[in-house]
Amino acid sequence: MAGSYEHSLVLTSRLLVPSVAMRSAVLLLGSVLLATSCVTKAPPAPAPAPTAQAEERTNADATLELAIYDQVNAHRKSNGLPPLTLDPRINRLARLHSAAMAAGKVKVGHDGFRERAKLLSQDGPKGVAENVAYDFGHTDPATSIVQGWLKSANHRENIEGPYERTGVGVARNVTGAIYVTQIFVGASHATRNAGSSLARAGH
């Protein structure tokens, strides 16, 4: 199947510190960002009986989430940084955002980030950062995404930041394209200066 489709990777990052200052960055490799509408909540519907294919996709998503988490922690360890603890609550928020992107309810980016950061800061000020990626066609998406993040200064700064907990969420659309959100959360001392930049690269 090599050469039968274009490999695409889209990466974005955002940082929110307790002062509510924000920094965002976008790294595009291959395709452009999709233009979509804002998030809307659909009424709950009865859950269909899981099929073997759906179960396989769910397991694949969970495996990819853990692979991204492990690679990010391996990078932190190689730089003498403490590992991030995987937090189920942050996982859930990350999965919801990835699912919204996969469903076309929001563009590939950080719509709703302030709301996610606010939810994660209810017990006190927190430093919150977020990396997002879209991947299609790579045989090892975890490595493609994490290495793409590490090649971008702002994404890398989030990965290496003074955070303690993290969550990773993966979702796929009907074509098999992968949407990933990783959220980083630290104590209030995780504040650092915020700037902004936009980086684009061809693939």
How high is the pLDDT of residue 137? 86
How high is the pLDDT of residue 15? 53
Rounded mean pLDDT of the chain?
Answer: 74
Phi then psi for 76, rounded to 5 degrees? Answer: -60, -45
- The residue that leads in pLDDT, 110 or 19, is 110
Distance (Å, rounded) from C-alpha 176 to C-alpha 92?
Answer: 21
User: Residue 39 is encoded by which pair of tokens?
Assistant: 């998030």
Total count of residues recorded for the chain: 203
Residue 151 has pLDDT above 90, yes or no: yes
Closest CA to 86 of 100, 98, 68: 68
Distance (Å, rounded) from C-alpha 39 to C-alpha 43?
Answer: 13
Cβ atoms of 34 and 173 within 8 Å: the answer is: no
For the whole prediction, is pTM greater than 0.75? no
User: Residue 95 is encoded by which pair of tokens?
Assistant: 């999965």
Confidence class for position 150, pLDDT limits 50, 70, 90: very high
Establish how many alpha carbons lie within 13 A of residue 93's alpha carbon, considering only the half-sphere containing its beta carbon: 25
Confidence class for position 22, pLDDT limits 50, 70, 90: very low
How high is the pLDDT of residue 186? 92
